[in-house]
A and B are shown apart, each in its own frame.
Chain A
Amino acid sequence: MGFLQLNVLNQPEPLPAVGIDLGTTNSLVAIWENGRPNVVRPEGDNGYVPSCVFFPTDGPPIVGKEARERAVFEPERTIFSIKRFMGRGLADVAADLKSMPFPASSGRNGVIEFDVRGRKLTPQEISALVLEKCGEVAARASGGRALAKAVITVPAYFDDAQRQATRDAARLAGIEVLRIVNEPTAASLAYGLDQKKQGNVAVYDLGGGTFDVSILAIEDGVFRVLATNGDTHLGGDDFDRMLVAVASTELSHSVDPRKLDEPAFLQGLRLAAEKCKIELSSYPEAEMHIQIPDSNAQWRRRFTREEFEALSRPLIERTLDSCRRALSDSKLDASQIDEVVLVGGVTRMPAVRAAVEQFFGRVPHTQLNPDEVVALGAAVQAHVLSGGTREVLLMDVTPLSLGLETVGGAMAKIILRNATIPCQATEGFTTYVDNQTAIDFNVLQGERELASDTRSLGRFRLSGIPPMPAGLARIAVRFHIDANGLLTVTAKEQSTGASAHIEVQPQNGLSEADVQRMLAAAYANAKDDFAARRVAELETELGTMLRATEKGLVDARSQLDRETILDIEDAMKSAREACSTRDAQVLQRARDAFEKATMPLAAVLMDNFAKKALTGKIIGEM
């Protein structure tokens, strides 16, 4: 475990820039090596980092697989799907807050703050924990090399506030963001390189929490986005919620409704629903079950695929509405699309595939793993940005129109949606009273005519205007959307050439001072947190291994020889002892020894499992 050694003199080189898919449900790191992008996987690990954070009663938070395992037993200490809160205000996420186990309030500039054991944590800080975990996984896979630079992907339909929040999260995690890239665009890159394709491509990306569709033209290595559309609040979570709603209704006949509304119970229901949903993609029927609160009984309910598809139909229709708009904006017909690429776990649902196929009139391309293609594309882009190749170029667009609020409360658009980025617009401002030295304006993003129907990116204050009679000042304000899709605003007084100062009061975003304060606080805690977190993770891992082994021994004892059983029982004993030491090295040794001792058992269990599966038993029932 090279990365545990805090020996500064002996630290290995940091990793070359990687690609990170910071997902609603899972996050994944990929890297360019040996002429192609590869998912970063430590030995014996698929590399997936569930975007899930567990807060134990004491000690630092636990992130990723270990957090997800603990969530099953203690959902009231676990945060899922934090991405849905990035760059949003309380009013935007009322439905998501219901199943959040920690109370939320509105902090400075309308940033959501969760009260986690008396500590206020923003979505940015919680996402930073997930990104740090990604860094750990990458270090584990690479002999302790640090993750320093990355391309991070976001949904194409993310607005400026959501992109800023993502960038701030990376900064808090100590990662330099080379570029923020749109998820469907990254996917097209992985697809296009893999297939050496030319032509028009539609990327349909239905992830854990967000939906995007992008239409691209691929030509001689240039990946040019023609149009994008989507919904940053539509994803697998919403499909789960359809099943949760059925469960809540049916349970309400027998259980106290207050119990049903408890976040911990809702969280448990959500996990049960997710499991049922995934099974329904492979089997015509599946069962959802959950422990009824304050009772020994279980609630069980069989769903047929047909029933689930009927429940999800409105959600699928919403994705098709977005497809229709994107296609219309790209000025292409469905018949001119040469290939449809599916991205995101939810596209494994047969009903989704069928709907997409019908809409575009062609069978979607499914050769690439929909859960990995975004990270792979981000790794390609990281390679390009590091100067690795000039053969590839991404030309992306801004998903939403940018405008200014007029005196009458309307939105005056200055940059239209689907403009190729980087792009810019310059607007002239003047003063309307003598000696006025400042002007305020409200920057908006969205497609509707009324300012109140769009999203405010914040109040901008233009100050430092030299005093002069009203109407004489000529201030040119330049709005620039950069290659990350992020807005910067600069201003210049034209008659004097003085550059006026712009101060931004972000809406639902962190200020520079907030980020600096959080960084300072994190630095103070980092060393202690790091060791303590490793201990907690190893304890969790050992706990899981112990439970699995106990159960496995009951099932398979007769198939093992005496010596093997004794070895396993020895290893179990020292694992339990190690758990009381709180020493990472002891725990690590116990874990490795335990894994070695239980290998024969694992082999027998795998064998039994395969035999059972072959006799037609449904995996979900085992």
Chain B
Amino acid sequence: MTPCPTCRAEATNPLVCTACGGLLSGDRAPTPFEVFGLVPALELDAAALKRRLLELSRRMHPDYFATADAATRELAERNTAELNLAYEVLADEPARADWLVKSLGGPDENQERKMPEAFLIEVLEWNEALEEARAADVGSSARAALANLARELGTRRDEALARLRAELEPTPERNSPRLVEARRQLNALRYVDRTLEEIRALEVGRPAART
């Protein structure tokens, strides 16, 4: 990183100078790990990440630049948006893994979409259970069955996450074949999470159209 243009201190963060508090603007958007000063890796201390988010927010949030000139206000908006985006990626394990796989030259979700047939059959069964529950009344057996399905999916999720960790820890080499397997686990996770989300939406009710 280049030194801070204001105080010439060695920059330790790409968005804000931790020495003088000045906002920084680079040629390219920093990566999520750079924003938090971390070496890219799947394993991460969630509590420390949140502490760092609050600490960095306290340095660059637009609320603290409301009396500054328009360009500085705009930079505070932009850098805080970068910070929030980086946190969103890092705080969620599958999102973090997805970023790692892509940055290491692994396939994205469109390049590697093959799933074992047995798994796809299972997904179809989940969808059927969902459809049935959707058509049934609250309190019916079809609705009760969803609670069991949610528990089962919770276990499946843990298993997929464990396999994902096995592929990404320690962090693979660029273009390693382990990245393809990691992508498959991420795809499986996506199916599971989407179904879990649908179950949750059924439990809490759908938001109204045109709020």
Report A's interface with B, CB cutoff 8 A.
92, 157, 159, 178-179, 219-220, 222, 224, 229, 231-232, 321, 324-325, 328, 381, 384-387, 390, 393-395, 400, 419-424, 446-448, 453-455, 480, 482-483
Contact = CB atoms under 8 A, between A and B. Distances in A.
B54 interface: yes
A391 B10 CA distance: 27
B211 A419 contact: no
A232 B211 contact: yes
A133 B54 CA distance: 38
A1 B81 CA distance: 46
Count chain B CB atoms within 10 A of each CB in A179, A381, A420 and give the residue with the most: A420
A424 B57 contact: no
Interface stretch (B110-118, B178-186, B198-206): B198-206
B58 A222 contact: yes
Nearest to B205: A321
B63 interface: yes
Given A220-B54, A328-B204, A423 B85 contact: yes
Interface in B26-68: 54, 57-58, 61-64, 66-67
B207 A447 contact: yes
A422 B84 contact: yes
Nearest 3 A-B pairs (CB), nearest first? A453-B209, A385-B66, A424-B81
Contact of B64 (A229, A390, A424): A390
Interface residues of B, number: 28
**Majority SS of interface residues in chain B?**
helix
Interface in B71-95: 77-78, 80-82, 84-85, 87-88
B210 A455 contact: yes
Contacts of A422: 62, 77-78, 80-81, 84
Nearest to A422: B81
A454 B77 contact: no
A446 B77 contact: no
A174 B114 CA distance: 60
Interface in B134-176: none
Contacts of A483: 61-63, 77, 80
Contacts of A448: 206-207, 209
A302 to B, nearest CB: 35
Contacts of A328: 200, 203-204
Contacts of A420: 84, 87-88
B20 to A, nearest CB: 15
A422 B73 CA distance: 12
B24 to A, nearest CB: 16
Given A387-B67, A423-B84, 12 more contacts: A159-B211, A328-B204, A381-B63, A393-B63, A400-B211, A419-B84, A419-B88, A420-B87, A422-B78, A422-B80, A447-B207, A454-B210
B44 to A, nearest CB: 18
Contact of A384 (B63, B87, B211): B63
Nearest to B211: A446
Contact of A325 (B66, B84, B204): B204
Given A157-B211, A328-B200, A390-B58, A480 B81 contact: yes
B211 A324 contact: no
A179 B63 CA distance: 8
A387 B65 CA distance: 8
Interface string B100-120: 000000000000000000000
28 contacts: A219-B54, A220-B54, A222-B54, A232-B211, A321-B204, A381-B63, A385-B66, A386-B67, A387-B67, A390-B64, A393-B54, A393-B58, A393-B63, A421-B84, A422-B77, A422-B78, A422-B84, A423-B81, A424-B82, A446-B211, A447-B211, A448-B209, A453-B209, A454-B209, A455-B210, A480-B77, A483-B77, A483-B80
Contacts of B206: 447-448
B210 A446 contact: yes
Contacts of B62: 422, 482-483
A381 B64 CA distance: 11
Given A384-B63, A422-B84, A424-B85, A324 B204 contact: yes
A92 B208 CA distance: 13
B167 to A, nearest CB: 26
Contacts of A157: 211
B63 to A, nearest CB: 6
Contacts of B200: 328
A345 B205 CA distance: 27
A420 B91 CA distance: 13
Given A325-B204, A423-B81, A446 B209 contact: yes
A449 to B, nearest CB: 10
A212 to B, nearest CB: 12
Nearest to A386: B67
A230 B208 CA distance: 10
B69 to A, nearest CB: 14
B41 to A, nearest CB: 24
A161 to B, nearest CB: 11
B54 A482 contact: no
A419 B77 CA distance: 14
A380 to B, nearest CB: 11
A159 B80 CA distance: 21
A385 B57 CA distance: 14
Contacts of B211: 157, 159, 231-232, 400, 446-447, 455
Contacts of B54: 219-220, 222, 224, 393
Contacts of B66: 178-179, 385-387
Nearest to B79: A422
A321 B138 CA distance: 14
Contacts of B208: 231
A366 B206 CA distance: 31
Contact of B210 (A92, A390, A480): A92
Contacts of A419: 84, 88
Nearest to A456: B210
B14 to A, nearest CB: 16
A387 B61 CA distance: 12
A92 B204 CA distance: 25
A314 B82 CA distance: 42
A424 B88 CA distance: 12
B75 to A, nearest CB: 11
Nearest to B66: A385
A324 B57 contact: no
A453 B205 contact: no
Contacts of B64: 384, 387, 390
B108 to A, nearest CB: 14
A395 B84 CA distance: 10
A328 B204 CA distance: 8
Contacts of B88: 419-420
Contacts of B205: 321, 324-325
Contacts of B67: 385-387
Given A324-B204, A422-B62, A454-B210, A395 B57 contact: yes
A220 B88 CA distance: 21
Nearest to A217: B50
